[in-house]
Amino acid sequence: MITKEGVVFEKGPEGSVSILRVPAKINLWLEVIGKRENGYHDISSLMLPISVFDRLTVAVRPGDGGIAITCDTPEIPADERNLAWRAADLYVKASGKKAGVDIGIEKRIPWGAGLGGGSSDAAGVLVALNSFFENAIPSGELETVALTLGADVPFFLASRPALATGVGEKLELAKSSPDYPLLLIKPPVFVATGWVYQSLKLTKQGAQIKLAGFEEKPYDFELLVDNDLESVTVPRYPVIAAIKQWLIGRGALTASMSGSGPTVFGIFPTDQAAAEAAQIARKEWSDCWVHAARVMGRKNRSRRRAR
């Protein structure tokens, strides 16, 4: 067994198998500050990795054997529509390596949740393959490859607290971040990201929330927690606002929607408080996905050995 960059490899005669856990994320704030001619939007968002993980198995076969993918969630496509499949295909082509790739995904990050599960899976595949091929694609180029898959994918290459600007590809790492205790609640609705951004009315001339302010006063939630996309999602899906209010009523210090939704997170003063609220939420929001978690801040490693 060989460990590289937090990825566990088990080598055998038929090639290599790597097993890794890849995290979800929340957006502590998400400001949309402009729209480009190509339709993409400029944002300013603090992205924080959290302790909800998909489990990936990435097997490398010798020769040009194509790409195969399996997933334990029927709703997730197991073909070229899957971002992890596309990541493997793109890596093989960009690196010039002759290899077949088999990908297995055990989903624990709910899909279509605003938590970045698909992007994290894709980044995990890139990390696993680049580790196996001994950095055949240098890190700077790997970020470029990741960006072609999606604006969130570069963040998940390292999964460290970072301010994302541009369309999300420009990352400035935070010096530190509290390990906020969280309660996540995802209602059973689907929010189309494209529709959200197309429906958004731009009102800001620039970013109002600064990374320096977060680093200096990370618990000043009144100034730090905001999501411009709620102006679109809440009128269509009032359950989002209802969950936010419920979390505050159950002791959350603040609550907000992550990404384009519909998942809402509440930050609690302690892990115990979050866990107790989760027990109640599973009864009162029985049709929702409910999960207590933590922000993986400070010096935490994002990719951990699978158990």
- Flag whether 127 is in a domain: yes
Instruction: Answer yes or no: do 165 and 186 share one domain.
Output: no
Instruction: Answer yes or no: do 62 and 203 share one domain.
Output: no
Q: Residue 169: what pLDDT? A: 85
pLDDT band at 37 (very low <50, low <70, confident <90, very high): confident
Decide: residue 98, CB within 10 A, 0-12 exposed, 13-18 middle, 19+ buried: exposed
Q: Residue 88: what pLDDT? A: 97
Instruction: Answer yes or no: do 84 and 204 share one domain.
Output: no
pTM, entire model: 0.91
Q: Write the CATH number for 129.
A: 3.30.230.10
Q: Residue 15: what pLDDT? A: 53
Range of the domain at 251: 181-294
Distances in Å between the Cα of 115 and the Cα atoms of 102, 237, 263 are: 25, 18, 7
Instruction: Answer yes or no: do 34 and 74 share one domain.
Output: yes
Q: Is the pLDDT confidence value at 302 over 50?
A: no
pLDDT band at 298 (very low <50, low <70, confident <90, very high): low
Cα–Cα distance between 160 and 144 in angstroms, integer?
Answer: 18
Instruction: Answer yes or no: do 208 and 132 share one domain.
Output: no
User: Is the distance from CB of 114 to CB of 106 less than 8 angstroms?
Assistant: no
Q: Is the pLDDT confidence value at 24 over 60?
A: yes
Instruction: Answer yes or no: do 59 and 152 share one domain.
Output: yes
Per-residue pLDDT of 69-123, as tens digits, reads: 999 999 899 999 999 999 999 999 999 998 899 999 999 999 999 999 999 999 9
**What is the rounded average pLDDT for all residues in the chain?**
90
Per residue in 277-291, is it b (16+ CB within 10 Å) or e — as a string? bbeebeeebeebebb
Domain boundary residue, one of 173, 191, 211: 173
Q: Write the CATH number for 245.
A: 3.30.70.890
- Flag whether 299 is in a domain: no
Q: For residue 25, indicate whether it is catalytic.
A: yes
Cα–Cα distance between 191 and 198 in angstroms, integer?
Answer: 12
**Domains: count for the chain:** 2
Q: Which of 121, 152, 226, 228 is catalytic?
A: 152
- Flag whether 12 is in a domain: yes
Q: For residue 152, indicate whether it is catalytic.
A: yes
Domain boundary residue, one of 138, 156, 173: 173
Q: Which residue has the higher pLDDT, 295 or 38?
A: 295
Q: What is the radius of gyration, based on Cα positions, of the chain?
A: 19
Domain boundary residue, one of 117, 143, 173: 173
Instruction: Answer yes or no: do 65 and 10 share one domain.
Output: yes
Instruction: Answer yes or no: do 153 and 205 share one domain.
Output: no
Mean pLDDT computed over 268-283: 98
Return the SS3 of 106: strand
Per-residue pLDDT of 148-207, as tens digits, reads: 999 999 999 999 999 999 988 899 999 989 999 999 999 999 999 999 999 999 888 789
User: Is the distance from CB of 129 to CB of 88 less than 8 angstroms?
Assistant: yes
Instruction: Answer yes or no: do 206 and 121 share one domain.
Output: no
Amino acid, single-letter form, for residue 292 = A
